[in-house]
Amino acid sequence: MSSKDDYANELLFFGVTCIVCAFYFFAPTLLTSQSSLIEQKGTVIYVKTTYIPVGDSRSKSTKARLAIRLENDPKFYSIFKNIGNDRSYKLYEDIERRLEKSGSASIWIQEGELKDIEPKVFQIATGIGNILYDMDDAKSELRWVFPFLLVCGFVGIGAFGHHKYPGLFNKLKEYWKS
């Protein structure tokens, strides 16, 4: 087997892996609808924004984390966002401040994660219903990652196909020209 065959096989593996990851990790969140969520209500016993350094010595960034616990609820609700080199994240600090002031919260999670200790949070509101974090916030980063992975996957599979079946690709090229 030549090195070109090895590269082509690696591109096929890369392409398939990108597509599988896009659908397995990101599509379920992107395709979640408001009607499939369950509201968890309660008195806030813990709410805290923390900042976690991530990366190695060459490339460092910070991840903001907002953690919430409700009274008589064993679940640990948290949301994360990579904030780059910033030292604080105003949205999470504002949510923390408003939940402390309200004293109670409503948190929406998927019904299938009802028994999970750390379910994915899709929406957060104060006890009186003021939305602080909604589905658009939960899905915002995934809106570019999902299509990016799909494009990478199709490019990898296409490069494999072009190497493995050049005649077919030449026929397709001629077809598109006419």
Judge if 124 and 156 occupy the same domain.
no
Judge if 43 and 13 occupy the same domain.
no
For the segment 42-51, the average pLDDT, to the nearest whole number, is 95
Judge if 63 and 10 occupy the same domain.
no
Judge if 109 and 173 occupy the same domain.
no
For the segment 2-6, the average pLDDT, to the nearest whole number, is 80
pLDDT greater at residue 1 or residue 100: 100
pLDDT number for residue 2: 67
pLDDT digits (tens, 9 = 90+) for 11-32: 999 999 999 999 988 888 888 8
Instruction: Give the CATH number, domain containing residue 118.
Output: 2.40.50
Judge if 48 and 135 occupy the same domain.
yes
Total structural domains within the chain: 2
Q: How far apart are the first and last CA of the chain?
A: 36
**Burial label, 162 (beta-carbon count in 10 A; 0-12, 13-18, 19+):** middle
Residue 6 in this model has a pLDDT that exceeds 80? yes
Judge if 153 and 74 occupy the same domain.
no
Judge if 42 and 108 occupy the same domain.
yes
Judge if 61 and 88 occupy the same domain.
yes
Instruction: Give just the sign of the alpha carbon dihedral 81, 65, 37, 104.
Output: negative
Rounded-to-10 torsion of CA 142, 82, 61, 65:
-150
pLDDT number for residue 177: 81
Judge if 55 and 94 occupy the same domain.
yes
Q: 3-state secondary structure string, the chain?
A: CCHHHHHHHHHHHHHHHHHHHHHHHHHHHHCCCHHHEEEEEEEEEEEEEEEEEEECCCCEEEEEEEEEEECCCCCCEEEEEEEECCCCCHHHHHHHHHHHHHCEEEEEEEHHHCCCCCCEEEEEEECCCCEEECHHHHHCCHHHHHHHHHHHHHHHHHHHHHHHCHHHHHHHHHHHHC
Judge if 157 and 119 occupy the same domain.
no
Joined together, the tokens standing for residue 116 give: 């999970």
pLDDT digits (tens, 9 = 90+) for 54-100: 887 777 889 999 999 999 999 999 999 888 888 889 999 999 999 99
The domain in which residue 168 lies consists of 3-28+144-177
Cα–Cα distances in Å, from 91 out to 64, 88, 144? 10, 9, 21
pLDDT greater at residue 18 or residue 135: 18
Return the percentage of the chain with pLDDT > 70, whole number.
98
Judge if 57 and 125 occupy the same domain.
yes
pLDDT number for residue 1: 55
pLDDT digits (tens, 9 = 90+) for 168-178: 878 877 887 87
Say whether pTM exceeds 0.85.
no
